């Protein structure tokens, strides 16, 4: 074996193929779940970017192989998003790490990697190709492309390409391809994924036709789409040496001070100067004297591109310790908002406004102010619901979301669970496992602090933990009042139940004992009790 063979360079596509485990493609059942999830999320992103209420249609049909094990399936996903221009389609769907960007904003996936992995996995397991149709403009033709990825070279291979008339003025993207899947095992997760997505994206219509021909439809509860997040530059707290190095390579700034101002958020001239002084770098003259022409040598000395490796490390370390940067800009976040979150929860738990008004169900949602951890802004949104619509399953139900994605695995390792677990629920009159209680926690951030690459649970960063705890506490404030009232009503009902059980028996026994012929009429007595008893219409006997 030669050294060259050992250290052969592998393409990005090859790398992800070889390491598909980390992207959630471990087994045929896990893979189909990840595939659907990644593509649905891409579709949702494509709609939200254009402010369009999403209509997503997913169809999974069985092609060959056993129904109760791994087999070949055909997957079709349609959306009404902004579409992909025809000339970009090959790279967008057939080249891993295409269009990587160093700007930050809240999106569901990172670098759009997952969707490509899904297509790649389908190609590898079935040797099939992907059919992509897209339109970016209702007045223009639809582009249809048949595509594969050349894995070794990470290049898209276009097998056929044509355009057809867009008579229905459609805009959006359709992806269809074959892939290996084990639907019988993945089904519960996939259905749960759709249900929870319908909560956190309440403005979407979601349709899923499963291989058994069953149709699951989740109707939107509103057409309000939250504003798309803006792109921002990184915050100095959130960069590492490697990132700064890359940024320096790309920058057009002539001085370090200008570089800071242009490439980072929340840094103006004053902050840049103060920071550089703090960090011990040479500070250039103020803007008024800058017109003076610089000598070539002087310009070279000043050029931030020429910063030594040691200086870059010094710069980044100083960024971490400097305390006077402004907080990261939260406009790059796209939280749902308290109203939309309530809409989603009520819709999928089937809690009506009437239930809430008459006190038979409880819901509280709120959004915390933006906060930061390690230079990344984040916002916590929390919803709390109680009512007979919720099946307790012996514990408090926790629904976790990150950037509008439901997190379904590894609940017990998640920071949200840790917080929920440490709250003394009894002080809110909650009996864990008995009181029907559902808690919804949505973490929005430009960088979700996932604990592992599996991206299923969030690490317990103290700042995030603190925010979640405060959010739950705040949302639970009225829960105690609601539950006390429920308890009171339940007591009233139990009280009336006792009379309804025993008074007829008293009549029966006393009739027999006294050798009377007819039982006394006890209805007036029972009626009198209910007058100041149960208030809920449904429980009141006639």
Partner 1 sequence: MVSKKEKKSRSKGVVKERKDHVLSSLEQLGGQVYDQLAKKEFPTVKMPSRSIANIIYDDKTRQYILGKRNVKRSARNVRHIRPFTQLLWTAMFTDELTGQNKTSTLRDVFYSAQAYEMDFQDQQESDSLITDLETVTGFSREDFNVFPEERSAIFGDLTIEYTVPGYEGRTLNLASHPDGVMIGPALTTSEFVRPDKKKVDKVIAIEKGGLFTRFIEERVHQRFNAVLIHTAGQAPRATRFLLRRLNQELDLPVYIFTDGDPWGMHIAMVIISGSANAAHLRELNTPDAIWGGVWATDIVDYKLPSDPLTDLDLKRLNELEKDPRYAGGLWQREIDTFRKVRKKSEQEAFSRYGLTYIVDEYLPKKLKLKSNES
229, two tokens: 């997040």
518, two tokens: 């007819």
In the complex with partner 1, the residue whose CB is nearer, 395 or 495, is: 495
With contacts defined by CB under 8 A, how many residues of the chain interact with partner 1? 22
499 interacts with partner 1 by CB under 8 A: yes
506 interacts with partner 1 by CB under 8 A: yes
Stretch that binds partner 1, among 152-160, 164-172, 279-287, 509-517 (CB under 8 A): 509-517
Q: How far apart are the first and last CA of the chain?
A: 90
In the complex with partner 1, the residue whose CB is nearer, 246 or 527, is: 527
Residue 487 CB, shortest distance to partner 1, in Å, is 16
List the one residue from 268, 525, 536, 540 that touches partner 1 (CB under 8 A): 525
The β-bridge relationship of strands 397-402 and 437-445 is parallel
Stretch that binds partner 1, among 152-160, 320-328, 420-428, 508-516 (CB under 8 A): 508-516
Stretch that binds partner 1, among 109-117, 161-169, 394-402, 507-515 (CB under 8 A): 507-515
490 interacts with partner 1 by CB under 8 A: no
310 interacts with partner 1 by CB under 8 A: no
Q: Residue 44: which of 253, 198, 182 has the closest Cα?
A: 198
List the one residue from 226, 507, 530, 539 that touches partner 1 (CB under 8 A): 507
C-alpha span between 25 and 18 (Å, rounded):
11
The total number of residues written for the chain in this structure: 542
In the complex with partner 1, the residue whose CB is nearer, 465 or 492, is: 492
List the one residue from 27, 207, 478, 511 that touches partner 1 (CB under 8 A): 511
Q: Where are the alpha helices (DSSP H) in 309-369?
A: 309-321, 338-349, 353-357
Question: Residues 443-482: x/- map of binding to partner 1 (CB under 8 A)?
Answer: ----------------------------------------
List the one residue from 301, 305, 509, 536 that touches partner 1 (CB under 8 A): 509
Task: Give the bridge partners for 158, in sequence order.
Answer: 147
In the complex with partner 1, the residue whose CB is nearer, 479 or 496, is: 496
Residue 530 CB, shortest distance to partner 1, in Å, is 13
> Is 20 within 8 Å of 168 (Cβ atoms)?
no
In the complex with partner 1, the residue whose CB is nearer, 294 or 529, is: 529
Residue 330 CB, shortest distance to partner 1, in Å, is 55
526 interacts with partner 1 by CB under 8 A: no
C-alpha span between 279 and 282 (Å, rounded):
9
In the complex with partner 1, the residue whose CB is nearer, 3 or 513, is: 513
Q: Is 24 left (phi over 0), alpha (psi -120 to 50) or beta?
A: left
In the complex with partner 1, the residue whose CB is nearer, 354 or 521, is: 521
> Is 365 within 8 Å of 386 (Cβ atoms)?
no
C-alpha span between 144 and 137 (Å, rounded):
14
> Is 138 within 8 Å of 166 (Cβ atoms)?
yes
List the one residue from 462, 514, 538, 541 that touches partner 1 (CB under 8 A): 514
Residue 431 CB, shortest distance to partner 1, in Å, is 22
| Residue bearing tokens 């993945």 | 186
C-alpha span between 442 and 380 (Å, rounded):
6
Residue 512 CB, shortest distance to partner 1, in Å, is 5
Residue 373 CB, shortest distance to partner 1, in Å, is 54
List the one residue from 51, 99, 188, 520 that touches partner 1 (CB under 8 A): 520
Q: Residue 31: which of 106, 94, 121, 151 has the closest Cα?
A: 121
Residue 360 CB, shortest distance to partner 1, in Å, is 24
Q: Is 443 left (phi over 0), alpha (psi -120 to 50) or beta?
A: beta
Torsion (CA) 91, 180, 410, 93 in degrees, nearest 10: 10
C-alpha span between 463 and 442 (Å, rounded):
15
- The site for partner 1 (CB under 8 A) is made up of 495, 498-499, 501-503, 505-507, 509-516, 520-522, 524-525
């Amino acid at each position: 074996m030669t050294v060259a063979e050992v250290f052969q360079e592998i393409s990005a596509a090859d790398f992800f193929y070889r390491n598909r485990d980390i992207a959630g493609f471990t087994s045929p059942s896990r893979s189909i779940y990840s595939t659907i999830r990644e593509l649905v999320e891409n579709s949702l992103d494509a709609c939200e970017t254009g402010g369009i209420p999403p209509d997503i249609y997913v169809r999974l049909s069985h092609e060959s192989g056993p129904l109760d094990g791994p087999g070949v399936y055909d997957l079709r996903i349609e959306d009404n998003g902004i579409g992909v221009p025809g000339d970009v389609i090959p790279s967008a769907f057939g080249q891993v790490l295409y269009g990587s960007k160093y700007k930050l904003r809240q999106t569901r996936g990172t670098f759009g990697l997952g969707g490509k992995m899904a297509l790649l996995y389908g190609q590898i397991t079935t040797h099939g190709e992907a059919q992509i149709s897209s339109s970016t403009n209702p007045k223009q033709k639809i582009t249809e492309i048949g595509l594969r990825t050349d894995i070794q070279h990470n290049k898209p291979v276009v097998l056929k390409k044509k355009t057809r008339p867009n008579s229905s003025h459609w805009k959006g993207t359709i992806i269809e391809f074959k892939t290996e899947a084990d639907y019988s095992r993945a089904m519960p997760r996939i259905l749960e994924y759709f249900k929870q997505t319908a909560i956190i994206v309440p403005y979407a219509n979601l349709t899923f036709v499963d291989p058994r021909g069953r149709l699951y439809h989740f109707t939107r509860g509103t057409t309000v789409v939250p504003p798309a997040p803006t792109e921002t530059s990184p915050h100095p707290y959130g960069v590492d040496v490697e990132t700064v190095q890359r940024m320096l390579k790309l920058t057009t700034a002539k001085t370090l001070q200008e570089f800071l101002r242009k490439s980072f958020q929340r840094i103006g001239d004053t902050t840049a100067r103060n920071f550089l002084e703090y960090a011990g770098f040479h500070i250039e003259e103020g803007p008024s004297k800058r017109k003076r022409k610089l000598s070539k040598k002087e310009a070279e000395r000043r050029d931030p591109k020429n910063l030594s490796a040691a200086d870059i490390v010094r710069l980044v370390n100083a960024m971490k310790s400097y305390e006077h940067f402004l907080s990261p800009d939260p406009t790059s976040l796209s939280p749902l908002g308290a109203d939309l979150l309530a809409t989603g929860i009520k819709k999928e738990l089937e809690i009506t406004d009437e239930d809430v008004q008459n006190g038979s169900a409880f819901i509280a949602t709120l959004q915390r102010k933006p906060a930061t951890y390690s230079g990344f802004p984040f916002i916590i949104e929390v919803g709390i619901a109680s009512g007979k619509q919720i099946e307790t399953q012996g514990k408090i139900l926790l629904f976790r979301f990150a950037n509008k994605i439901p997190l379904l695995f590894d609940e017990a390792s998640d920071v949200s669970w840790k917080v929920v677990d440490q709250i003394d629920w009894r002080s809110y009159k909650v009996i864990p496992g008995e009181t029907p209680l559902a808690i919804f926690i949505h973490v929005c951030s430009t960088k979700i602090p996932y604990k592992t690459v599996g991206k299923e649970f969030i690490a317990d960063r103290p700042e995030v933990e603190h925010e979640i705890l405060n959010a739950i506490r705040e949302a639970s404030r009225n829960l105690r009042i609601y539950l006390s009232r429920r308890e009171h009503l339940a007591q009233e009902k139990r009280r009336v139940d006792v009379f309804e059980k025993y008074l007829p028996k008293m009549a029966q026994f006393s009739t027999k004992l006294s050798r009377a012929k007819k039982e006394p009429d006890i209805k007036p007595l029972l009626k009198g009790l209910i007058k100041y008893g149960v208030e809920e219409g449904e429980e009141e006997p006639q």
